[in-house]
Amino acid sequence: MALLALLSDLQRLHHWTIHLWHGDHRWRPESGRVAAELAKWCSGQGLELHVSSWLRPLDATSEAAARHWRYGQLAEQARCLAVSHVVTAHTASDRTETLLMHLARGSHRRGLASLRSLRPLSSDPGKQIALARPLLPFSRTETAGLCEQLKLPVWHDPSNSDRRYSRNRIRAEVMPVLEELHPGAAQRISAQAERLVEEVDCSYELVNLGLQTLKTNSNQSTTPALQRQLMSSLAIANQRQLLHHWFEQTAGLVISARQLEELLLRLQAGHPPGQSDLAAGWQLHWNRSTLWLHPSAAPLPQ
């Protein structure tokens, strides 16, 4: 609601067309009533609202499944309306909670650079749609204060108080302590995440150059391969970045930090040939000189 107020106020300067989308997850009996009340309020304001209801399987109640559905619906709605940007109201508080969860899980640096202020939502040729998050510099307290100041209606989701969800426990138990110790902690941690985004993007340019040096087509194989001996001569931190980026670039794989560390130990000079199952049916094989990444059903190069 705070984001809508700000976008509406700036509309006179930018002359953009604003479409609203609401997703009813149907997790709560009153969710339909909330959607109806929101639609009625939007109609009274002369705003166009699109409402989607999740016709999910009975066992699909995870936050990840809901997030996947939401972004899929947003992308589809954006394509139907031929819009260039989808704008969400994530705040510094949201980004800080996400970063802390990824940090606790041992995420790679890419995971810590979370909730980017701008990223592609859809990469369809000729239909590129950007996802923008303009409220990341502001805390949830500030957006709530704006709603109160402008007397905007707000619908609270009671599931946000359910401490069975990790994010809610961080929000209710961890963030208050950090804010008490260091007021403004959420915004500073969010700003650090933004700096990590910049560093990750810049480092990828150098990593790509390094991968070009390491790539090999030994034995005329079309299987993606790297020179193991040359890679193992580099610093561990560089090996970590190269291997992580190679998996993602070649097969769309993002493996856990723990699995990546285990692989790095086995790939060091002096260790024997071996193999490792990754994800999505991919395997990594290596001999003393080369690494191969290939689908598990594909024949190994000679």
Q: Give CA separation, 198 vs 1, 149, 253, in Å.
A: 29, 35, 21
Q: Give CA separation, 251 vs 145, 224, 237, in Å.
A: 45, 10, 21
Sorted by where each starts, the structural domains of the chain and their CATH numbers stand as: 2-193 (3.40.50.620), 215-295 (3.30.465.60)
Q: What is the dihedral of CA 97, 191, 113, 232, to 10 degrees?
A: -130
236 and 264 Cβ atoms separated by less than 8 Å = yes
pLDDT at 261: 92
pLDDT at 294: 83
Phi/psi for 128 (5° steps) reads -65, 130
pLDDT above 50 (res 137): yes
Average pLDDT of the residues in 190-196: 90
pLDDT above 70 (res 219): no
Q: Which residue has the higher pLDDT, 124 or 161?
A: 161
Q: Which residues of 144-176 are buried (b: 16+ CB within 10 A; e: fewer)?
A: eebeeeeeeeeeeeeeeeeeeeeebebbeeebe
Q: Where are the alpha helices (DSSP H) in 86-215?
A: 92-105, 109-112, 140-149, 166-169, 175-181, 185-214
Average pLDDT of the residues in 103-121: 82
- pLDDT, one tens digit per residue, over 83-110 is 989 999 999 999 999 999 988 888 777 7
pLDDT at 220: 43
